[in-house]
Structure 1
Amino acid sequence: MTYLKIGAVVAAIGLVDLVSCTDQGRPIIAQTDDVDVFATQVLNDLQPSSIAEGREYCGYIYAAPSGQLFATEPRPGRAAYCDLPQPFPSVIASYHTHGSFSDEYDNEVPSVDDVAGDFDAGIDGYISTPGGRVWLVDHDAQIARQLCAALCVTSDPNNDPDDAGFIPQTFTLEELEARFE
């Protein structure tokens, strides 16, 4: 496991000021400096609840001055969205799940709002899908790309892989807009 959920331990390791300034609840602490690995583990741990409840969960990944990674406590959303407040200065990425499989949504790719929101915030984003994919919304490259394909994180047993059609490795915002037209 690459991170540890903590509560009272925060005070013991001297992070009280950092945690209280985030106003995001208890953090999740990374034991790695690899943001992709950390985000994938956070999302994988959220997948069972997200799928069972049919809702998205979202939050932020941020770095302490020491470089140690943290994730804010996940916020519950709805079936097709999850609202986050403006990111605070140490945020380096957002994260969110896509809930359970639904034939009403294009579950297996980031939405236009997912990508545009991260681009507008000037941060990266990580998204897990019901089929078990993890996407990285790469702010610098201005693309969304699959970090790992179907079944790399916990997936919805009711997922219909044929429903999504062809899933390319990357999308630009314009390509996503065309897909959703």
Structure 2
Amino acid sequence: MKNTPMRRFAIFAPLVPAALMLSACGDTTEAPPADELIEEATDPDTPEGIQLTDAYVRLPAVSGRPGAAYFNVVNNGDGVRNIASVSIVNAGRTEMHRTMQEGGVSSMEPVTEIAIQPGQTVAFEQGGYHVMLFDLDPAIMARTTADLTVTFDNGDKASFAAPILKPGESPGGLGDSDEMGGMEAMR
């Protein structure tokens, strides 16, 4: 059989997509495994005396539903700090919420400001304060990170690269129980 230009193309054509895929492989940003989460913010712009720790974002179980962000804010400073808002890159809208139990029924209410006294830690966790993430970009994927920024009432900001977890995945990599009293779809 004669080695024509078309035959040479037919031999090498299947190799082109494979080469392109391999060249893109080195350009992904992944979060550390869930059991090796970043423990503390290292942003140089974090206000003196403030620490953000143990942050993570949990994707919703059902596409189009809200996700949630959890973290701790530690005030080692001299004065009261008031958290005015929290934002996450690739979330269209965020809301700080508080989960409450009344008469055996769980409910959530939006919170507009949270005061942190000197020496106090405020935990954003399941069953308490948390951040609801609405209109998440469909490109957000588990095992990557999202920039989480806490804004204080005086305009100071503290940021953290928060690992993104799959629905039901806990920061330690184990499955979660429903700690929000039947509010699984809202996580």
TM range (shorter): under 0.3
Structure with more of its chain in strand, by fraction? 2
Task: Compute the TM-score of the two structures, normalised by the length of structure 1.
Answer: 0.26
Instruction: Give 1 or 2: higher helix fraction.
Output: 1
From the CA coordinates, give the structure whose radius of gyration is larger.
2
TM-score scaled by length of structure 2: 0.25
Q: Which has the higher contact order (CA 8 A, sep 6+)?
A: 2
